[in-house]
Amino acid sequence: MKHEFEHDYLGFGRVRSRCNIRMFSDNGEHLFLFENLGLGTSVTNASEMLATQMIAMFHYKPENCRFFETYSEYDYKSFDEINYTWKQKLGRSGDYEWVAENAQWKPGPEDIEETFLR
């Protein structure tokens, strides 16, 4: 399954921000690409928030997801994979929710980059 959409979020200082999200699902694994559009807080700086929102939006378990980022305004020259520490915290609704913390970046695999950017 392939899905792409623009995602609005409140960045630092409650700045209205937007990114493009590309999502691929196959055999229970879900890949998310945060594509920076240069509108508000960058996907790098909002990374933990964006990953947390995607887990909540799609009701996925973090262990079944992988996250990546790229920058359209730099001609997609960077493609990084982001790993998180996941914790369950009590949310506003009174239910526990997954929260991404401690983002760690590394160069993304070429085969996945090709899947997202071809």
Taking only the tens place, the pLDDT of each residue in 8-67 is: 999 988 899 999 999 999 889 999 999 999 999 999 999 999 999 999 999 999 999 999
List all residues 6 or more positions away from 90 whose beta carbon is below 8 Å from its beta carbon: 96, 97
Tens of pLDDT, residue by residue over 56-107, are: 999 999 999 999 999 987 777 889 999 999 999 887 777 889 999 999 999 9
pLDDT of residue 79: 94
Q: Which residues pair with 17 in a beta bridge?
A: 9
The predicted pLDDT at position 93 comes to 77
- Alpha-carbon gap, residue 15 to 17, rounded angstroms: 6
Mean pLDDT, the chain, integer:
92
* Domain extent for 12: 2-117
What is the count of structural domains for the chain?
A: 1
